[in-house]
């Protein structure tokens, strides 16, 4: 009996290193690089690292993606600051970047998914060219952008979804390809892709951002906020929103998911483009990328969830763009040790 226990625990804990084979024509690859994992992650412990997938060679993507993703800093980095409710710690979320018009005026946020790709909302890019704005990584207080943690970048290309509708919020996603990659070292790092096939319904997730704290606030928040809110299922969301000004025939676009609907707890003006991210079960400091702040009727109204672009739904489009734009073999990326804390 003891022998069996030891055998089982041996197999749970001996994880295969990155790039190692995990079956016939199968390899452990970073999760963003496998279209469809061969392992049912819920039924079997994967032989690969948690942020990797055991992937058949036919399903592997040849694009850039770092291995070490989604690792937040729950206690913040740098000097200790006073704890404030619904305020993020300094550099708590290393993938949240600020978009600055003329490098001066904050107008929205984005999410770093690889060293040189930021994902944001298409509505923020509607009237923008690459020369109009800068991208700031490692920021927390936007009034203090001179620190050592700050990295400033410019855009080389903007790829907005051609199906974006500024009326319905459908396909509200854009990729910003950076002219020069961010240096992937603390406090800057990428978020994880959402686990394949997980719906996230009713999970409590987090939105960081520098927007207004409520619809009556006069200005944006210079220190980063963080709001926690639940994901709302499609059917519940449609039912709730049909009771609003959207009317009884309202239908949610397939590219949108809903979250929120709790009094006073919501994304608000200025949070556009920020990630909606969910803690990976069992690893509360690790986050996966579930949505992009898209739009809403107001902020923080009870039973009125807001709209987020559904990243899982957008994955095929994102992957196509990454393949077209980059075509970088992932093995050129540094390989990190993954430790869960
Ligand atoms: C929506 O898009 C149309 C056409 O691209 C544009 O003329 C209009 O100003 C946009 N509306 C808003 C609110 O941005
Ligand atoms: C707006 O900005 C001013 C100056 O930065 C600040 O004093 C004030 O507290 C801010 N108001 C809100 C509601 O955040
Ligand atoms: C997001 O999209 C995926 C893929 O289309 C879907 O399976 C999932 O249910 C959607 N999530 C929500 C909360 O609607």
249 versus 69: the higher-pLDDT residue is 249
Q: Looking at ligand 3, which atom is closest to the CA of residue 310?
A: 1
Residues in Cβ contact with 326 at an 8 Å cutoff, skipping those fewer than 6 apart: 63, 64, 114, 116, 117, 177
Q: pLDDT tens-digit profile of 162-199?
A: 999 999 999 999 999 888 888 888 899 999 888 777 88
In the prediction, which pLDDT does 33 show?
65
Does domain 96-190+316-327 correspond to CATH entry 2.40.10.10? Answer: yes
| Nearest to 341, CA basis, from 50, 95, 137, 14 | 50
Q: Taking residues 53-67, report their average pLDDT.
A: 66
pLDDT at 21: 80
Using CB atoms within 10 Å of the CB of residue 141, give its burial: 0 to 12 exposed, 13 to 18 middle, 19+ buried: middle
Return the structure tokens found at 80: 């200790």
Task: Tell me which of 89-103, 185-199, 225-239 is least confident.
Answer: 185-199
Write the residue with the smallest CA distance to atom 9 of ligand 2.
219
- In this model, does residue 263 exceed pLDDT 90? yes
State the closest ligand 1 atom to the C-alpha of 126, by its place in the atom list counted from 1: 14
pLDDT of 305 reads 96
Is any ligand 2 atom within 6 A of the Cβ of residue 217? Answer: yes
Range from 16-20, 68-72, 77-81, 121-125 carrying the lowest mean pLDDT: 16-20
CA distance 42 to 288: 16
Mean per-residue pLDDT, 203-217 = 94
| Site residues for ligand 1, CB cut-off 6 Å | 126, 166
pLDDT of residue 236: 97
Whole-number pLDDT of residue 14:
39
- The CB of 150 under 6 Å from ligand 2? The reply is no
Tens digits of residue pLDDT in 294-328: 999 999 999 999 999 999 999 999 988 887 765 54
Which ligand sits nearest to residue 313's alpha carbon? 3
pLDDT at 57: 84
Selection from 236, 209, 231, 225 nearest residue 293 by Cα: 209
The DSSP string of 38-59 is SS-TTTS--SB-TTEEEEEGGG
Smallest CA separation from ligand 1 atom 10, residue:
166
Q: For ligand 3, atom 10, which residue shows the shortest CA distance?
A: 199
Arithmetic mean of pLDDT over the chain = 84
The pTM assigned to this predicted structure is: 0.80
Say whether 278 sits in a helix, a strand or coil.
strand
Mean pLDDT of 3-13: 34
CA of 295 to the centre of ligand 1 (A): 15
Burial 182-193 (b: 16+ CB within 10 A, else e): bebeebbbbbbb
Higher pLDDT, 233 or 31: 233
How long a stretch of residues is the chain?
341
CA of 219 to the centre of ligand 2 (A): 6
What's the pLDDT at 22?
84
Measured between alpha carbons, how far is 168 from 162 in angstroms, rounded to an integer?
A: 14
- According to CATH, what is the number of the domain 204-312? 2.40.10.10
More confidently predicted of 126 and 197: 126
Which residue has better confidence, 337 or 48?
48
Each domain of the chain, given as residue ranges in start order, spans 5-63, 96-190+316-327, 204-312
Q: If we measure between CA atoms, which residue out of 110, 111, 127, 114 comes closest to residue 68? A: 114
The average pLDDT across 273-277 equals: 98
Is the Cβ–Cβ distance between 305 and 258 less than 8 Å?
Answer: yes
In this prediction, residues 271-290 reach a mean pLDDT of: 90
Cβ atoms of 94 and 111 within 8 Å: the answer is no
Do the domains 204-312 and 96-190+316-327 match in fold? yes
142 CB less than 6 Å from ligand 2? Answer: no
Q: What ligand has the least distance to the C-alpha of 203? A: 3
């Amino acid at each position: 009996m003891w022998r069996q226990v030891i055998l089982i625990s041996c197999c749970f804990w001996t994880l295969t290193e990155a790039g190692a084979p995990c079956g016939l024509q199968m390899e452990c690859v970073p999760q963003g690089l496998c279209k469809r994992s061969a392992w049912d992650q819920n039924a079997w412990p994967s032989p690969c690292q948690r942020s990797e997938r055991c992937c058949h060679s036919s399903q592997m993507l040849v694009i850039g993606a770092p291995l070490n993703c989604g690792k937040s800093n729950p206690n913040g980095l740098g000097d200790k600051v006073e704890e404030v409710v619904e305020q993020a710690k300094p550099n708590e979320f290393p993938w949240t970047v600020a978009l600055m018009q003329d490098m001066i005026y904050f107008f929205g946020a984005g999410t770093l998914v690889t060293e040189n790709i930021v994902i944001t909302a298409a509505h923020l890019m509607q009237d923008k060219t690459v020369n109009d704005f800068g991208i700031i990584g490692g920021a927390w207080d936007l009034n203090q952008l001179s620190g050592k943690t700050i990295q400033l970048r410019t855009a080389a290309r903007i790829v907005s979804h051609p199906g974006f509708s500024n009326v319905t919020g459908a396909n509200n996603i854009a990729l910003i390809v950076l002219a020069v990659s961010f240096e992937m070292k603390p406090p800057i790092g990428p978020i994880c892709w959402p686990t394949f096939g997980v719906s996230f319904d009713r999970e409590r997730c987090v939105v960081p951002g520098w927007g207004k704290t409520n619809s009556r606030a006069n200005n944006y928040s210079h220190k980063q906020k963080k709001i926690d809110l639940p994901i709302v299922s499609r059917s519940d969301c449609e039912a709730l929103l049909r009771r609003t000004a959207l009317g009884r025939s309202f239908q949610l676009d397939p590219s949108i998911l809903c979250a929120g609907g709790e009094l006073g707890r919501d994304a608000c003006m200025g949070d556009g483009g920020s990630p909606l991210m969910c803690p990976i079960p069992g690893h509360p400091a690790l986050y996966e990328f579930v949505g992009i702040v898209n739009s809403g009727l107001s902020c923080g109204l009870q039973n009125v969830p807001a709209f987020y672009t559904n990243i899982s739904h957008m994955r095929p489009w994102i992957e196509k763009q990454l393949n077209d734009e980059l075509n970088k073999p992932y093995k050129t990326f540094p390989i990190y040790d993954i430790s869960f804390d």
